[in-house]
Structure 1
Amino acid sequence: MTTHSNSWPAGTPCWVDLMASDLERTQNFYRDVLGWAFSESQPEYGGYCNALVEGDVVAGLSPTMEGMEDAPHVWSVYLATDDIAADAATAGDAGATQVYEPMEVGPFGSMGVWVDPTGAEFRMWQAHEHIGFGRVEEPGAVAWCDLMTGDPSAARDFYAKIFGYTYQDIGDDSMPYALFTVPGGDRPAGGMGGPVPDAGDAQPGWGVAFQVENVDEAAERVRRAGGSISAEPSDFEYGRMAVAAGPDGEVFVVMTPSETM
């Protein structure tokens, strides 16, 4: 069991959430695909609820906010920060565009939203009562988060200025990709790379992979639950994966890591 009870180190992907056009439909989809249970929706926080694996929080869902009906439905990735005001200032100096200035979310923590210089949205979370992921790297929980962008070199420079990332290149000329580690970290916290070849007009963005026991079976569950598979299950160096989309077209990966990952 991989549980977590303390604040995540600064720069670590620490939370993901999704805004759904039909919350009940989306809950049913992820219940069928990933086995999630859910906390009660909180009206005072826009109907937000947490997805749970064996009682531990692993992701968030909320209904579509009024006035945001045309906003794209994507899994948003939050990066941990110890000082959101200071890191927001650094991000601005490094070329980020602020979408929502840092704000407190009740007793849970503080968040803000930015777009990095390559056009990818990212969020920061300064934890108080809500530390972020309470469980990772188990079936139903997040296994990996990464950024795919058309200018990975600029992205690497940008995030290093804010969080002090160091990088380990594992890609090649056709598809640059690097693992990043936060200061003091003893293992990679996520990845950063260029677009998949022939991706066409793919937009830059952070993405999430959820761990499953069996990728092929998970892909069939996606289809039965009303989602779709855009990249069929396949093996790669670190395990097996497939690319899926949920009820609102939100893209995510299901993966089973190799034992050596």
Structure 2
Amino acid sequence: MTTHTNSWPAGTPCWVDLMASDLERTQTFYRDVLGWTYSESQPEYGGYCNALVDGDVVAGLSPTMEGMEDAPHVWSVYLATDDIAAHAAKAGHAGATQLLETMEVGPFGSMGMWADPTGAAFGMWQANEHTGFTRVEEPGAVAWCDVMTADPAAAREFYAAVFGYEYQDIGDDSMPYALFTVPGGDRPAGGIGGPAPDAGDAQPGWSVAFQVEDVDAAAERVRRSGGSISSEPSDFEYGRMTVAAGPDGEVFVLMTPAETM
């Protein structure tokens, strides 16, 4: 079991959440696919609830907020910060556009949303009582987060300026990709890359991969539960993966890491 109860180092993907058009339907879907249970929805926070794996928080779900009915349904990725005002200022100076003003979320922490200069949206989370994921890299929990954009060089420059990312290139000219490490980190915390050659007009964005014990079995659970598979299970250097979509069309990855990871 991989648990983490302290605040995450600044710049590390530390949380993901999703607005659902039908919260009960979405909860049922991810319960069937990933085995999640849930904390009680909190009316004072718009019906938000935490998804749990063996009692540890791994993600958030909420009903669609009033006035945001036309907003796209996507998994939002939040990067940790120990000073949201300072990192917000750096993001603005580096060319980000603020999408949601910073706000305190009760005793849990503070958040805001931005779009980086390439158009990829991301959140920042300054932890208080809620430190983000408390379980990672286990079945049902987040295994990996990355940002894919048509201008990965600009994205790399931006996140280095804001969070001090350092990079290790593992891609090639046809599909650039780099692992990033945050200051003080001892291993890669995520990735930045360009779209696959056959991706068409893919929109820039952060994405999340959830770990499962068996990708092929999980893909079948997605189909049975009303989701879809856009990329069939396949092996890659670091394991086996498939690209799926949930009840509102939200895209996510399911992966089983290679045993050597």
TM-score, L = length of structure 2 = 1.00
Aligned counterparts of 1:184 and 1:87: Cα–Cα separation in 2: 17
Gaps of 5+ in 1: none
SS at match of 2:210: strand
Aligned counterparts of 1:16 and 1:100: Cα–Cα separation in 2: 16
- Aligned match of 1:72: 72
- Aligned match of 1:250: 250
Alignment of 1:136 with 2:136, yes or no, is yes
- Aligned match of 1:52: 52
Aligned counterparts of 1:98 and 1:209: Cα–Cα separation in 2: 25
- Aligned match of 1:108: 108
- Aligned match of 1:122: 122
Aligned counterparts of 2:101 and 2:50: Cα–Cα separation in 1: 23
Aligned counterparts of 1:117 and 1:85: Cα–Cα separation in 2: 19
- Aligned match of 1:212: 212
Aligned counterparts of 1:33 and 1:181: Cα–Cα separation in 2: 30
- Aligned match of 1:18: 18
Aligned counterparts of 1:91 and 1:247: Cα–Cα separation in 2: 33
Aligned Cα root-mean-square deviation (Å): 0.4
Task: Give CA deviations for 1:143-163 in whole Å, capped at 9, x if unaligned.
Answer: 000000000000000000011
- Give how far 1:28 is off: 0.1
Gaps of 5+ in 2: none
Aligned counterparts of 2:204 and 2:49: Cα–Cα separation in 1: 27
- Aligned match of 1:157: 157
Task: Give CA deviations for 1:176-200 in whole Å, capped at 9, x if unaligned.
Answer: 0000000111100000000111111
**Counterpart residue identity of residue 202, structure 1:** A
- Which deviates further from its counterpart, 37-46 or 197-206? 197-206
Aligned counterparts of 1:110 and 1:74: Cα–Cα separation in 2: 20
SS at match of 1:140: coil
TM-score, L = length of structure 1 = 1.00
- Aligned match of 2:41: 41
Aligned counterparts of 2:9 and 2:196: Cα–Cα separation in 1: 29
**Counterpart residue identity of residue 114, structure 1:** W
- Aligned match of 1:86: 86
**Counterpart residue identity of residue 154, structure 2:** A
Task: Give CA deviations for 1:55-95 in whole Å, capped at 9, x if unaligned.
Answer: 00000000000111110000000000010000000000000
Alignment of 1:235 with 2:235, yes or no, is yes
**Counterpart residue identity of residue 172, structure 1:** D
- Aligned match of 1:171: 171
- Which deviates further from its counterpart, 92-101 or 217-226? 92-101
- Aligned match of 2:225: 225
Aligned counterparts of 1:246 and 1:189: Cα–Cα separation in 2: 25
**Counterpart residue identity of residue 225, structure 1:** S
**Counterpart residue identity of residue 15, structure 1:** W
**Counterpart residue identity of residue 233, structure 1:** P
- Give how far 1:100 is off: 1.2
**Counterpart residue identity of residue 16, structure 1:** V
Aligned counterparts of 2:219 and 2:145: Cα–Cα separation in 1: 19
